[in-house]
Structure 1
């Protein structure tokens, strides 16, 4: 027979946690806010401002999702409470066993909901960009940069987020030298904002005849998509170096024949943006310039508001001093340097299952 007191204690803790979370999200206020938003949507003029309409739709979806989850968990707690009372009265071990499993599932649901309260920082609800750059190590690092890109693409796919590859520069023989990816999804930047930094790989090199151990580095820089912002940043023409080159991406022979790709370097910060998605050099330049504006805005924002946090950008050397995570494939061990979280499931991580690291870093307020 299951220990009745332990089951009752587990149920009591779940009820307490449920009350705390409902209070944190302010359930009654959320309902009022949703009613107000629904009333706003009754006025079709709201879509005269597409950007505002989309923002409101996103907020509506978020509130509906939170309310649905809170209601579902609350009802499940009522049901399990009645089930446990029934099991105790009838001395039914099978029902108690089912209750224990249900309590475990409920605890996980509450933990997941509690985790969402972490997304309270400015821009957490925004879409985001990921810049990936190969470090020192030649072919090995370029291969590693591509593995990092695949890892984040898989992660985004698992989250059902939309993905756009803005720019990708092929490596000398394999992999990539750099890439910029746009991730569109609910709280995309909130999820990924702690992933900026250096990823260190240690493995027996597949490109070395003798299979010697090799250490490689690749960097990631995460920044939000800011469409409407007020910034005092002035980009001077003298601070820019603009290079054009032949695109190496898809798009047919026309793309490869003309110098349509554009690379913009902001000399004071060393920030580089590039775009080769379009056949038009003008469009690529505009896209690269928008990327630069977003990067400079995020850099300025972090300097003013998060001075203790070092901003990883292309001005920093990709070397031993700025690591966030080590991937030691020979020993089947991946360790987050900042949180101490480790796992031996290397392939799972490389396939995009990185929430174990993300959640740990967000919980300690990185």
Structure 2
């Protein structure tokens, strides 16, 4: 007769009960009703920004509730199947219970990550900027590879993306790029990617096929819904440059000089946009990116001041190498913070980042608990 798995099912129910508490599922059910009512109101889309905020929150809350309910229902089914397997001596059903419990455990692991995304801006959208570093044309190619990796990752999660600016290298790749990722907890996930990424490979641009090490900086800031009201940018503090949008090889994309670059003179921060149809739209988008960067800069300054008061050493992470992607002489991606590694480099470059991001989020939780 097959052994019962009642203890394993009870343990899973314990984890589910903890999730119910951590995620405040009861509160989410109430909020879901409120959001559904708001989403159905006739004048919602009179204010597109507010409407997008409502629909984004609705998607996140509804997703949490549905995932929780699906876990409870799955455990109920497994408990019934386990009892039948024990009563009838059905080895096949017992094996199905084991496989089901493994699937539930994996889903619980993923779901528990959601409880780690409780930072001030974790639920917001994200603006990602990638800058080629040392490594010449290989670094520019690496910056473009990273852009593709993040856009593919966003696509697999059902997130929307919009590329604001791409500055192409003379020979290949990107000198820099800026894009927005919109979706539930986009910033909470992507801020784990902030830092320097290192690539080691045989250079496709070296006629002698030598190994090349390249670097690129990934910069991630949250998109704050209230940023336009909170961040004032006087006209005298910015320089606006207008130029012609260009694609790979310097080919003209627009027939007019509609691309806009805004430089914030007090800080030296720069934001560009060339993908909108008009100069006015490009300027508005670039100013939005600039304000998000200024808001993040102020947040970091406040964090540094608090750490000085606490007597702690603040490591913002700018310029620090966080991850290595090695394609030669072996295949390995290793995060230097969490020590998480995988030999499936191509899968990572194709957007399979969840394992790396989750490991870093868990490391941060452990570090906070120890502190």
Matches within 5 A, 1:203-242: 203-229=201-227, 233-237=231-235, 239-242=237-240
CA distance in 2, matches of 1:340, 1:123: 26
Runs (5+) with no aligned partner, structure 2:
308-313, 366-371
CA distance in 1, matches of 2:272, 2:40: 42
Aligned to 1:310: 316
Q: 1:32 to 1:227 in 2, by over 3 A?
A: closer
Aligned to 1:344: 343
SS in structure 2 opposite 1:200? strand
* Equivalent residues of 1:302, 1:311 under 8 A apart: no
Runs (5+) with no aligned partner, structure 1:
313-320
Aligned to 2:310: none
Moved more, 258-267 or 202-211: 258-267
Residue by residue over 1:155-204, the C-alpha shift from the partner in whole angstroms, topping out at 9 and shown as x without a partner, is 11111212211111111111111111111222211110111111111112
Aligned to 1:96: 94
Aligned to 2:144: 146
CA distance in 1, matches of 2:289, 2:176: 15
Aligned to 2:286: 288
Aligned to 1:333: 332
* Equivalent residues of 2:227, 2:291 under 8 A apart: no
* Equivalent residues of 1:249, 1:276 under 8 A apart: no
* Equivalent residues of 1:21, 1:114 under 8 A apart: yes
Matched, 1:359 2:343: no
* Equivalent residues of 2:228, 2:291 under 8 A apart: no
The TM-score, its normalising length taken from structure 2, stands at: 0.87
Aligned to 2:311: none
SS in structure 2 opposite 1:364? helix
* Equivalent residues of 1:203, 1:328 under 8 A apart: yes
CA distance in 1, matches of 2:322, 2:85: 49
SS in structure 2 opposite 1:178? strand
Q: 1:45 to 1:152 in 2, by over 3 A?
A: closer
CA distance in 1, matches of 2:244, 2:176: 16
Shift of 1:16: 0.8
Matches within 5 A, 1:43-54: 43-54=41-52
* Equivalent residues of 2:59, 2:184 under 8 A apart: no
Q: Number of residues paired by the alignment?
A: 355
Shift of 1:58: 2.5
Shift of 1:51: 3.1
CA distance in 1, matches of 2:158, 2:21: 29
1:155 is matched with which residue: 147, 153, 156? 153
Shift of 1:131: 0.4
1:62 is matched with which residue: 45, 48, 60? 60
Aligned to 2:298: 300
Residue by residue over 1:67-110, the C-alpha shift from the partner in whole angstroms, topping out at 9 and shown as x without a partner, is 22222211221221121111112222111111101111111222
Q: 1:284 to 1:76 in 2, by over 3 A?
A: closer
SS in structure 2 opposite 1:353? coil
The TM-score, its normalising length taken from structure 1, stands at: 0.88
Moved more, 117-126 or 214-223: 117-126
Shift of 1:17: 0.7
2:267 is matched with which residue: 255, 266, 269? 269
CA distance in 1, matches of 2:227, 2:364: 25
CA distance in 2, matches of 1:130, 1:218: 13
Shift of 1:45: 4.6
Shift of 1:287: 2.4
CA distance in 2, matches of 1:102, 1:11: 10
SS in structure 1 opposite 2:227? coil
Aligned to 2:6: 8
Moved more, 194-203 or 220-229: 220-229
Matched, 1:135 2:157: no
Moved more, 49-58 or 120-129: 49-58
Residue by residue over 1:318-355, the C-alpha shift from the partner in whole angstroms, topping out at 9 and shown as x without a partner, is xxx51111111101111111111111111111111111
SS in structure 1 opposite 2:154? helix
